[in-house]
Amino acid sequence: MDFKNVFWPQYKFRISWINKIYRRNIVYDEKLIKEGRATFEKVEDLYRKLKSKSKKENNEPETSNWHYCEKEIFRKRNKWRRFLPSVSVLYWASSGYGERPVRASFMLLTLVVLLIIFVNANGLDKSKDITDIAFETIKGFSGNFDFDRLLHLIIACIQHILFIKNPSFMPFTTWGVYIMQFFTKFLIPIQAVFFAMALRNKFRR
């Protein structure tokens, strides 16, 4: 069976502007789940079959839509998987199941900002090879905004993220080292992969 010029029902968000950005087509059966007239398993299987059919027809936009719907129903059909920080929840939040590059970029930027905040709270020492920076440490700003320190703090964090061999500043506390390594060697690289994957899917589809 083929569908031609179909006006699919759409998933409605409570916040209208989010619906305009992230609206998705759904099958009518998804609406029946709340009424108890359809099961999550049945709807998930429908989406899986629609995705498979779209793939065979090289219909990339519909493949993307049905893939998102399939993963969303899979996440929602288990209450623990739906609300707790499960793999499905993290996959959804990090990149919209690999289909939302805007969300992935926002999460990537959020991780970078959190790294800057945490590292600043623990403090950084200037590397011995650096001679053209007036101050020796960065830790908080003593209640006074210091643009020069903030700029070097951001540059130092970016250097660590990009695995620059000799960054201008290094953490001087054990917690600072752990935080830097956790973000730059684990969280941010993984999120960067999710962003690249979502961006590739967006341009491909």
Q: Mind listing the pLDDT tens digit for each residue in 56-84?
A: 988 888 899 999 999 999 999 888 888 78
Q: Are residues 122 and 44 in the same domain?
A: no
- Residues 115, 58 share a domain: no
107 with 70, same domain: the answer is: no
Domain count, the chain: 2
| Shared domain check, 193 and 110 | yes
Are 116 and 58 members of one domain? Answer: no
Does residue 197 lie within any of the structural domains? Answer: yes
9 in a structural domain: yes
* Residue at 87 is within a domain: no
pLDDT at 21 over 60: no
pLDDT digits (tens, 9 = 90+) for 174-192: 999 999 999 999 999 999 9
Query: Predicted confidence band at 13 (pLDDT cuts at 50, 70, 90)?
Result: low
Confidence (pTM): 0.83
Q: Is 95 contained in some domain?
A: no
Structural domain contains residue 115: yes
Q: Is the pLDDT of residue 19 over 70?
A: no
Give residue 40's domain range: 1-77
Q: Is residue 177, in this structure, part of any structural domain at all?
A: yes
Q: How sure is the predictor about 17, in pLDDT bands with cuts at 50, 70 and 90?
A: low
Closest CA to 180 of 196, 156, 146: 156
- Is position 21 within any domain? yes
Q: Is the domain of 61 the same as that of 112? A: no
The per-residue DSSP string of 75-100 comes to HHTSHHHHHSS-HHHHHHHHHTTTT-
Half-sphere exposure of 37 (CA within 13 A, CB side): 6
Q: Kindly report, residue by residue over 127-139, the tens digit of the pLDDT.
A: 887 778 888 888 8
pLDDT band at 14 (very low <50, low <70, confident <90, very high): low
| pLDDT for the residue numbered 146 | 80
Q: What does the pLDDT read at residue 47?
A: 94
Tell me, yes or no, whether 128 and 62 share the same domain.
no
